[in-house]
Structure 1
Amino acid sequence: MRPLREDLVLQASLEAYGMVRHEGRLSDRALDFTLRRKAHLYSTERRAVAERVYALLRRQRTVDYLLSHARPGFEQLQTTRQDVLRLAASRILHGEAARQVARDSALTGADAAALDALPEAAAALDSLPANQRFPLAASLPDFLAEKFRETFGEDAERAAEAMNERAPLTARVNLLKTTREALLERLKAEGVECQPTPLSPMGVWLETRVNAFSLESFREGLFELQDEGSQLLGMLVDAPPTRVVDACAGAGGKTLQLAAQMKNRGDLHALDVDEGRIDELRKRARRDGVHNVRTQVIPPEGPTADEALVPLKDKADRVLVDAPCSGTGTYRRKPDARYRLGPDELANHVARQKALLERFSTLVKPGGRLIYGTCSILREENEAVVEDFLARHPDFSVRPVTEELGPELGAKVSRGPFLRLAPHLHGTDGFFGAILVRAK
């Protein structure tokens, strides 16, 4: 394998990282933008850039604390120099040798000495009282560290640690075109080490680091990339081949899963407020051989939004509301999201979630089901939203997820009657799901 051209990797890493932390861009977009302009980088170098930027974003607060102790005057250094030190410290935190990293990063003098002083700074962090240490070691803003404690109690440190690991690359087999066993064989023939996921019966872990979109099996529509937790949320819908609504369809990951559950029969309505995402869904549906999806771009709110839903009122057997949320369950994949969430943003998410549930519940026919889900770990966006809805809608009741997933799987992935997933317990992203049944 060719050695990395460290100067080029560092330059690209600084550009992408700077866009995220100093310009407020989303990490995946910043990396995509940077790497598209760096056509001369080898694939191994591109991967190194992405991994180093994500690794630093996950450990940002920890790295800054360590450097403030290991490098006198760190806060006064010029921004680019700080960022070079951050990227270097993050690499050491992830197991690389200080001397080699200093050489790769062209660090000398006090900057190189700072890398050697990191173990001492880590000891200082470890000696802090638990309530001070946790937010720094978990690399969470104080507000979120408190929320993790509320959600996970004594497990908060383990949960935060798991959120700071790299997420596995997970696929969902397209059951309209193949089986999981056949897909595993096909992927192995394409040189990809893979294995079945332990919880979802249609999931596959891709263990070889590969650009999945370049695989022939992907181009043939044999699989989609979808976290195992998201697959389990889709399973709660248990979509019959009649009339099903995916109310916040986005680019359609779960829509396509529902189409397979329905065996391409019946009417599957995919609604979203974003034309671009709906276009992407249409493309994916064509590749996956999905024929029963009807896509519709709907206004975000107001009388015209309600009007757009009139034809579906009281008609759907299943309505899935996979609501936009804080994304606190997806920090393994979107590590920069933690720096964007504060009390006001959280309150806005909750208000929107309540409004969406209210709005789309009108589509559920008597005896039908409303499935509410988020990729959040926070009670405010999950159980509290469901409780608020039920208090105002006595004609809806909770169906325990174990009745849908079966006692064995259900017991592993539920807390009370709800789906509750977290990386440290299930190896998935953090997800919540509730099944609400409308009385006949």
Structure 2
Amino acid sequence: MLGRSLLIVLIPLLVTQVISQGLFYGNFLGVASRRLSDSVASEIVLSLKTLERLHSQSDKQWFVNQAQDQLHLIEIWKPGFQLTRVGTNHIMGPMDENLAHALESSVDHPLFIDWHTDRHTVFVFIQLSDGILEVQVPRKRLDMGQLWLFVSWTAGSSFLLFLLASLFLRNQVRAIRRLAYAAEQFGLGRDVGPIRPYGAQEVRKAAVAFNRMQDRIYRFISQRTGVLAGVSHDLRTPLTRIRLSLAMLPRSGQVDAAQVAPDIDDMIGDVDEMEHMIDSYLSFARGEGAETPQRTELRPYLEDVVAAARRAGTHFQGLEVEEGVFLVIRPDSIRRALMNLLDNARRHGGAVTLTAYATPAGACIVTDDDGEGINPELRDTVFRAFESGKGGGTGLGLTISRDIIRAHGGDMELDTAPGGGLRVSILLPW
């Protein structure tokens, strides 16, 4: 936006300067130059005609002196001299052309105009019948002044105005960049707090709207988390009562203990499975917005996750993590996502290999197992809620994991592992 805004300011400014200077040099300067040349030519013609009427040398000398004092023309009479060259040694611009045209149209005698001998004086030599009249014309009588001075003033003022416009536009764009940065961080799940509105009125309104949107989202997450906490409490209370009732049921006496005990154990297992399902549902519905992101070193963090997965029964074939990789993540949320993936690998596969390395876009975490894998046609559907629970589990593990990764601004992809099993690639941005 800064570059486009500067072009919007610069292009009209340059076009205006080009048009104004073109009109000045092409119209006004040409008219003024012609008038100055005509004035000088008329004075030379007047001097020439007067000298032709005067016969005595004293009268001619008197007129020459008057011309020098009154007309600022130095006239030198050279009797008996002849011109060896006629025309003009042309230099550049309309000034010499206008003077040559004015003299050639007014003087009937051969003449030569010299521009090169002196840069402050123009020499005009006119051939008469008995000699040459040399007229020295000050160049300032033909010149409008230094043209570069006018160009410098116009270019300098344009550059100064463009510089001021750049500073003001940069301040406006800085406000938009800050708003874009805050929106990007908020999209990655990082709390940057409310941003201070400044800049143009529209930018301030956008900042205020962003702050209100951020507050509404945080308030919604907080309210939903509180409601779900109450739901969790209400659901677990009857389950706890059932568990206690099952624990207090008699297992001997009137009823055959060999028949009752397995039934009670099955019921207790069902209660445990229901509690596990409730925890999964609440985790899926609650989201991960309440945890504060932290700057975390990847290698020791993944080593802790692998240690916890080993305690849960996951067999690891290898662990390769690049040193010195740091990410801003919610540690508990990412741990839950990785544990869901490793638990799926334990239940559906066998040995697991975990690798992690840095990329230009962020850090990539890859898990490979040697299980049966997932058919490529079904890889998009297994991310749907309850879709992947047909082979055991709640069907929410992959869904929760991908939601957590995407809440961090990353993404998760499924592929075929080198051993034929499932490869899960997680990309987390810096």
Q: State the TM-score, normalizing by the size of structure 1.
A: 0.23
Q: Decide which structure has the larger Cα Rg and report it.
A: 2
Q: State the TM-score, normalizing by the size of structure 2.
A: 0.24
Q: Name the structure, 1 or 2, with higher relative contact order (CA <8 Å, separation 6+).
A: 1
Structure with the larger helix share: 2
